[in-house]
Chains A and B, each alone.
Chain A
Amino acid sequence: MSETLLSVKDLHVRVEDKEILKGFNLEVKKGETHVIMGPNGAGKSTFGNALMGNPAYEVTSGEMFFNGKNVLDLGVNERASEGLFMSFQNPLEVSGISLSNFIRTALEQRTGKRIRLWDFRKEMKKALAVLQMDQSYADRDLNVGFSGGEKKKAEILQLLMLKPTLAILDETDSGLDVDAVRTVSAGIEHFQADKDSALIIITHSTGILSSLHVDATHILVDGQIVASGDASLVDEINANGFAAYDKEDAAE
């Protein structure tokens, strides 16, 4: 199967007055896992936010098509309804709504269908178990008082429950200890098992990638992808860092 899910062409994105993405290109097919790596400030998170439609990120030119639809025509929640998902680097705390009610509301709004509480609880229990999260998390207010690691797990929980077609994981591994990385990886593997969906992992370290299957790796420097390759590129970065891809040296 080589059906194109996401196609991004010559994307330029501005944050406040600064151009961050300067001609970004990416194509993701169903069932694939892509990794975007790069030094701090290269624009990795900017891509995720622009794709998801964060109003603070202004797309000045270029195009993004997802599932054949022009993403730029869609509002944030419509993008989610189409099957896009982004796990946040810093998930927001929202008091007054429990994690489980939030996910249920999101599912119902996205699909326009009522979800049977019984089925939902069963699914939720399974997903919590995969992430080794206590069942009591379901009833806690969304991210309120969660530790950094718990917030990251809660994001992956949402990934497993909402079952998007394309998920962007933005620095999901940052700030996690070894055990937590392993648990989160297990959650991601679970998601990968669905061959109709695809994954973009944004990271600047390589720890989380050791146990995951990767189809393509892209190096993002100063707003452009300067190199792409298969999973072996990850090992190369591991050995040599990003120095070889400094702007001047990047000939592509």
Chain B
Amino acid sequence: MADNVKKDKTFVDDIDREMYDFRFEEKDVYRVDEGLTPEIVNKISEEKNDPEWMHQFRLKSLEIYNKKEIPNWGPSIDGLNMDNIVTYVRPNTKMHAEWDEVPDDIKETFERLGIPKAERESLAGVGAQYDSELVYHNVKEEVAAQGVIYTDLESAMHGEYADMIQKHFMKLVPPTDHKFAALHGAVWSGGSFVYVPPGVSVEIPLQSYFRLNAPGAGQFEHTLIIVDEGAYLHFIEGCSAPKYNIANLHAGCVELFVGRNATLRYSTIENWSKNMYNLNTKRAICEEGGKVEWVSGSFGSHVSYLYPMSVLNGKGARAEFTGVTFAGRGQNLDTGCKIVHNAPDTSSVVNTRSISKSGGISTFRSSVVVNPQAENTKSSVSCQSLMIDSESRSDTVPAMDIRTDKCDIGHEAKIGRISDDAVFYLMSRGISEEEARALIVSGFAENVSKELPLEYAVEMNNLIRLEMRGTIG
């Protein structure tokens, strides 16, 4: 035992990500030229059998993309060369509803990620994305029987819900929003569509698991969720990507429409490989009495820009954002959230933790906007940072734009370090220093883990343990 402890202490530098950094050889049937032109976008559109409006939407988005500048206010993304990004790769398999029919190599990848097990245990449906297409999709019967639609976006564009998609697609996040939203509009591929009819409460969480597999391939999945009046849904997205040397780009988009008195909980644990540029855009809009609950864990990636936004458009609408960000060596994670209060009696609660270690940079940005009509609004923002060592960095950038006096706004920020006394206390009971620190950091991130279903909380704590490894040497 004592020997093991000593061996562990010799760990330095990067963590062992072996269990996440595996992949299989690519077997793509079709791969477009590198770089982005209208011809490529046409090809993508044709391959996907887009309706004409979507084809035009892609071309329009491409125009916007070519005009927009790369954002210059956050972490550098100079390492990203769009000319080298193969934007579109899809595996040589069609949609599958039965696990048995999924090709073996793809199945094995998922099995190592534990998807079938997760599904068996408690999840209502699995929509797993392998590269750019959904390869496996299944909604348990009882959920479908409630009238809940959970499918991939491509086929939904041709089915019964075609009009609904045309009406909502990228209306919340228009391509004009920023360069990567425009890119997304041009090349999006894969993702999920969920519609929960009025009054339906989906008791078990719906899950979607994304991961990248092809080197140099960007991922542009689109998630569109509509929760109708008085309905309830918990949707979970989890990500884990293999590690490559070529810069990887993720520019997904999430649009959440929360109807009157409806509630949507949207949970994500993102665990990107350390070369990923994660430029994701997520946005929710809540009607009267509606509520959106974001639970967000940001791990991995080289650079992240991630600020889920909640627009509270109806009287009494509410938003909760609970997040944790972990930035290790070589990582610059710029995360936070934005809340827009557009109606009276709306409220928002933001509670985040950020952890930085081994020179990692973690920046928390929040923006709370209270418009003049949003009287009796309440908002509280609390952000705590934990720096594991003195070479790491943590910044907090809170912004507030308050245009009425009749509101109650609070903000609190704390920055701390792991207490030596607490480490000593845990160690005095026989716990190794590494484990003691991991326990303390996991505890620090408890705001998020206690909001997650058990198996996700366990996975997140394992991630923290992996990330914490090698902090002592």
**Which residues of A pack against B, CB within 8 Å?**
52-56, 74-81, 85-86, 88, 91-92, 94-97, 102-103, 105-107, 109-112, 141, 158, 162
Contact = CB atoms under 8 A, between A and B. Distances in A.
B421 interface: yes
B445 interface: yes
Contact of B428 (A52, A103, A107, A111): A52
Contact of A94 (B422, B430, B435, B445): B422
B439 to A, nearest CB: 5
Interface of B: 1-2, 4-5, 419-422, 424-433, 435-436, 439-440, 442-446, 449
A158 B430 CA distance: 12
A191 B434 CA distance: 30
Contact of B424 (A54, A85, A162): A54
B442 A96 contact: yes
B429 A106 contact: yes
A85 B425 CA distance: 11
B435 A105 contact: yes
A95 B443 contact: yes
A146 to B, nearest CB: 14
A96 B444 contact: yes
Contacts, number: 94
B439 A97 contact: yes
11 contacts: A56-B424, A77-B433, A78-B2, A80-B431, A88-B425, A92-B425, A94-B425, A95-B446, A97-B442, A103-B429, A105-B431
Most chain B Cβ neighbours within 10 Å, of A52, A75, A85: A75
Name the prevailing secondary structure of the B interface residues: helix
B432 A109 contact: yes
Contact of B433 (A54, A75, A92): A75
Contacts of B429: 77, 80, 85, 102-103, 106, 110, 158, 162
Contact of B425 (A74, A91, A109): A91
Given A94-B440, A97-B439, A97-B442, A81 B430 contact: yes
Contact of B430 (A80, A91, A95, A97): A80
A92 B449 CA distance: 22
Contacts of A94: 422, 425-426, 439-440, 443
Contacts of A81: 1-2, 430
Contact of A96 (B420, B435, B436, B449): B449
